[in-house]
Chains A and B, each alone.
Chain A
Amino acid sequence: MKNVLIIGRGISGLSCAISCAELGMNVTLLSPYTSERAQSVLAAGGINAVLGTSEDSIESHINDTIKGGCYIAGKNSVKGLCENAPGIVRWLEKIGTVFSREDNEISRRAFGGQSHNRTCYCGASTGKQIVTALTMEARRYEGMGRIKSIIRCDFYSALIKDGKCYGAIVYNEKTGKMEMIRADALVIATGGQNALFGMTTGSQLCDGYAAGRLFMQGVELKNLEFIQYHPTTIQTVHKKMLISEAARGEGGRLYYEDDGNRVYFMEDKYGPNGNLMPRDIVSRCIYDTHRQVYLDVTFLGREKIMNRIPEIYELCQKYYGIDISKTSIPVEPSVHFFMGGIAVKNNHETNITDLFAVGECASIYHGANRLGGNSLLAACYSGRVAAKAINESKAKEEVPDEVFMNDIDVACGIVDKHKASESRFAVKYIRDMLAVNMNNDLGIVRCEEELKKGIEDIEYYLSIADKINFDNTELPYTTYSLKAILVLAKATLVCALGRKESRGAHFRSDYPETDADMAAATIISYDNGNFKVAYDREGRYEN
């Protein structure tokens, strides 16, 4: 019976754990916190699936996804995603997800870039309702002994030997020690790399460390330059908060004011459905206005607002002090989702045998721009696909623990150094400087000069990161994660510099046109401090 170690217990990690358990494997589900704290609970809008009772078709879902991704997502991978979507949504309901329903069917709403209303939803807390159901289902297998939950544990590194993965080294917060966990397969389900940008719409816990660390261990990354700016967010004193696309799905209109008149710039440019163009286009149009943009839902009326988007009403009232049934919402684009991440094949395996990545940390399906409603789908689907691949994978030769003794010694040394530090210097000071760089140099519009400047700054942070002693009153994870986060940030800028065209969420002011020759995913690899960029024209990963 295979042993699978899964790092992260949001929707993709839970989904993978349940599928592995269903297939008879033993799962260790490891994370710093419980599933209720995962970023998945913030996913408001919905999950895309073509259900049988509409004029929609799976072909149309595939085409919209490929088109939304600007033709660099894999046709076969996207086909698998869309074909399995209806089954996934039905299954989610069967295990207890409380979908909104009307006319005896799961309710669907319009989302950006889609030719039909196919975004199934649970009010405005779809992610949370799915997490609740998956947690309950995972509990069933936990009771049977197939899933073992470990919390207050942080990923440190993968156990890799000769291109194969044998488990991971983790930091156990309870014992204060680094520990080795052997497994037949390792699944990374750690979410996107929010920490690169400081304040985003997502969770503080998603920092990209695992992707950065694995990159330094030889795992290839992909499409890092494609970062989705969600067009409608509000900035509060401590957080950027998402105004779900559901607001525009229900009819919300974007405008700016010019000499006392409202200019509905999206409708002027793209017609009546202009407010629901894909997110990259809407964000860029907002950027181009160089003005404060507003989202108006007042005309829906209080009753419909409270019925269809009550969470948005409450959010704006609580954190912004406005009543959206009376006042328009001042919005701005903010970093929301990472199309890029760990490069995986269609079966979610990386370039390292038995090392898999699922959910937002894996780069697949979304190409240069993700459609709203496809991330929850990809999180559920990717977990299943990885579980199936692990189940079918061939057993590899045994390797004794001694092979990894040097790795664990190095890891223990890092914790010892952290504990011995007398410095008051916080890792956050460098993380904050990094965030300023990333927001300035990798915004909605990029150019070579800014990208090169950003790389230079991050190289400087990297050159000092190992030399500084950091405040040991924080967790060792905070300290040891910094270098890999900086490396990931540099890799992201290098990918953006390399793509000399504009496509989807990557817009270069110095290369504003799309180049047909660049219709391929960026692959970046790391060799002893050197970053190497290539383009996957052969469909080596996703195809």
Chain B
Amino acid sequence: MRIKILRRSSPEAEPYWQEFSYESKPDQTVAGLLGDLNYMGDLKDVNGKDAPRIIWECSCLQGMCGACAMVINGVPALACETFIRDLQGDTITLEPLKKFPVIRDLMVDRSIINENLLKEDAFIEEYKDSDPKEHDHQYMAGKCLKCGLCLEVCPNYKGSKNFYGAAFANDCYLIATRSDIHKKDIKKSYDDHFAAGCSKSLACVDVCPMKIPTLASMAKLNRLR
């Protein structure tokens, strides 16, 4: 099969497509595929030309760290939990996430996610015992990988000038339900940087690898007084 990758050697360089041949293994993941391409021998493209090794981010390789988020056949997903057997056709295209600055190849700079949380003082400080009914929802929200997939698919997120996206909304929920002193401020941040810009496409809910119920976070934050 063919693997088509959108490459870039540095943030300043022009992107270009490069194609590779790969002997398909249906049970392999896209993360495993990248490992195979890079190290099954010296990397060469379909024309036999030497190619630089493909740079991408990975850590846990089992869907628990969010490092390997990328666009696979046009669909944003984690490479380590996307299996070749589930992809259509005999070509796989891999692109970096498009809503973040590219560092190299499939590696992007997602630091904006934490920068926005820092800017809005997203922390608990003085903990108050929260309603036990919120426990399961808090547990799910606490699993956010900050992988950026929710921002990638969001029609309203355009590089975070004012609208910070679902990753921000879920952290707002975690704080608002467990901190009295920050409840009011974080609710305002949520209103300004999420509620005001969200058109409720809910693409973020579908794409989330942790299945975080962002819609429920929104409902609870909207109700908060």
Interface residues, chain A, CB within 8 Å of chain B?
Answer: 33-34, 36-39, 41-42, 93-98, 100-101, 122-123, 125, 128-129, 132-133, 136-137, 139-140, 142-143, 149, 151-152, 203-205, 237-239, 241, 315, 318-319, 424, 426, 428-429, 432, 471, 473-475
A237/B28 in contact, CB under 8 A = yes
Q: Is the CB of A238 within 8 A of B31?
A: yes
A428 to B41, CA, bound (A): 10
Determine if B64 is an interface residue (Cβ-Cβ < 8 Å): yes
Chain B, residues 140-181, CB within 8 Å of chain A (1/0): the string is: 001111110000000000000000000000010011001000
In the bound complex, CA of A93 to CA of B124 (Å): 11
Question: Per-position contact with A for B103-128: 1 when CB-CB < 8 Å, else 0?
Answer: 10000001100100110011111010
CA distance A319 to B103 in the complex (A): 30
The 3 closest A-B pairs by CB, nearest first: A473-B52, A238-B32, A140-B123
Contacts A41-B65, A143-B123, A151-B111; A429 near B39 (Cβ below 8 A): yes
Interface residues on chain B, number (Cβ under 8 Å): 54
Q: How far is the CB of B191 from chain A (nearest CB, A)?
A: 20
Bound Cα distance from A137 to B174, whole angstroms? 13
Contact partners of B142 in chain A: CB under 8 A: 96-98, 122, 128-129, 132-133
Q: Please, which residue of chain A has its CB at the minimum distance from the CB of B178?
A: A96
Docked pose: A155 CA to B112 CA in angstroms: 23
**A37-B28 in contact given A94-B127, A474-B53 (Cβ < 8 Å):** no
Chain B contact residues, CB within 8 Å of chain A? 25, 27-29, 31-32, 35, 38-39, 42-43, 50, 52-53, 55, 57-67, 80-81, 103, 110-111, 114, 117-118, 121-125, 127, 132, 135, 138-139, 142-147, 171, 174-175, 178
Q: Are B124 and A203 in contact (CB under 8 A)?
A: no
Docked Cα-Cα span, A15 to B59, in Å, equals 21
Do the beta carbons of B53 and A140 come within 8 Å of each other?
Answer: no
Set B27, B50, B67, B123: member contacting A37, Cβ < 8 A: B67
Asked if B32 contacts A96 (CB within 8 A), the reply is no
- Not counting A37-B65, A139-B123, a sample of 6 additional A-B residue pairs whose C-beta atoms are within 8 angstroms of each other reads A33-B59, A36-B65, A96-B174, A123-B139, A132-B142, A238-B28
Q: Is the interface of B mostly helix, strand, loop or mixed?
A: loop
State the CA gap A474–B146 with chains docked (Å): 25
Q: Which of A123, A139, A238 contacts B35 (CB 8 A)?
A: A238
Q: What are 7 A-B interface contacts by the 8 Å CB criterion? A: A95-B124, A98-B135, A101-B132, A128-B143, A133-B142, A238-B31, A432-B39
A-B residue pair count with CB separations less than 8 angstroms: 131
Cα of A350 to Cα of B142 in the assembled complex, Å: 35
A424 and B41 alpha carbons, distance in the complex (Å)? 9
Q: List, in ascending order, chain B residues with CB within 8 A of A97's CB.
A: 142
Q: How far is the CB of B27 from chain A (nearest CB, A)?
A: 6
Cβ of A136: which chain B residues have Cβ within 8 Å of it?
Answer: 122-124, 171, 174-175
Please report the C-alpha to C-alpha distance between residue A319 and residue B80 in the assembled complex, in whole angstroms: 10
Tell me, in angstroms, the Cα distance from A192 to B187 when the chains sit together.
Answer: 40
CB distance from A146 to the nearest CB of B (A): 13
Using Cβ atoms and an 8 Å threshold, which residues of chain A touch B62?
A: 42, 239, 241, 315, 319
Measured CB to CB, the closest approach of chain B to A212, in angstroms, equals: 20
Cβ of A96 and Cβ of B127 under 8 Å apart? yes
Identify the closest chain B residue to A93 (Cβ): B127
Q: How far is the CB of A405 from chain B (nearest CB, A)?
A: 29
Closest beta carbon of chain A to B124's beta carbon, Å: 5
Q: Are B124 and A318 in contact (CB under 8 A)?
A: no
Q: Which residues of B contact A241 (CB under 8 A)?
A: 62
| CB–CB A426/B38 < 8 A | yes
Taking CB atoms, residues of chain A closer than 8 Å to B43 are: 424
Which of B25, B103, B123 neighbours the largest number of chain A CB atoms within 10 Å of its CB? Answer: B123
Q: Name the B residues within 8 Å of A41 (CB-CB).
A: 60, 64-65
Known A-B contacts A237-B27, A315-B62; the reply to A36 vs B111 at CB < 8 A is: no
- Which A residues lie within 8 Å of B60 (CB)? 37, 39, 41-42, 203-204
Which B residues are in CB contact (< 8 Å) with A424? 42-43, 50
Q: How far is the CB of A66 from chain B (nearest CB, A)?
A: 32
Residues of B within 8 A of A152 (CB): 103
In the assembled complex, the CB of B211 is this many whole angstroms from the nearest CB of chain A, namely: 10
| Min distance, Cβ B6 to any Cβ of chain A, angstroms | 16
Closest chain B CB from A126 CB (angstroms): 11
Q: Which residues from chain B contact A318 at a C-beta distance below 8 Å? A: 63, 81
Q: Which of B117, B124, B145 contacts A96 (CB 8 A)?
A: B124
Contact B127–A237 (Cβ < 8 Å): no
Cβ A204 vs Cβ B58 within 8 A: yes
List residues of chain B with CB within 8 A of the CB of A426.
38-39, 53
Interchain CB contact under 8 A, A204 and B61: yes
Contact among A96, A101, A139, A473 with B118 in the assembled complex (CB-CB below 8 Å): A139
Q: Hey, which chain A residues are within 8 Å of B64, CB to CB?
A: 41-42, 125, 128
CA distance A132 to B139 in the complex (A): 10
Tell me which residues across on chain B come within 8 A of A125, comparing CB atoms. Answer: 64, 139, 143
A133 to B174, CA, bound (A): 10
- Asked if A101 and B28 sit within 8 Å, CB to CB, the answer is no
| Residue from the list B42, B52, B57, B117 in contact with A33, Cβ < 8 A | B57
Q: Are B59 and A203 in contact (CB under 8 A)?
A: yes
User: Closest residue of chain B to A151, judged by CB?
Assistant: B111
Contact A34 B121 (CB under 8 A): no
Give the docked Cα–Cα distance between A532 and B124 (Å): 49
Inter-chain contacts of A203 with B (CB < 8 A) = 59-60, 65
State whether A239 and B124 are in contact (beta carbons under 8 Å apart), knowing that A36-B145, A101-B132, A473-B52 are contacts in the complex: no
In the complex, the answer to whether A101 meets B67 with C-beta atoms within 8 Å is no
Q: Which residue from chain A places its CB closest to the CB of B121 in the assembled complex?
A: A143
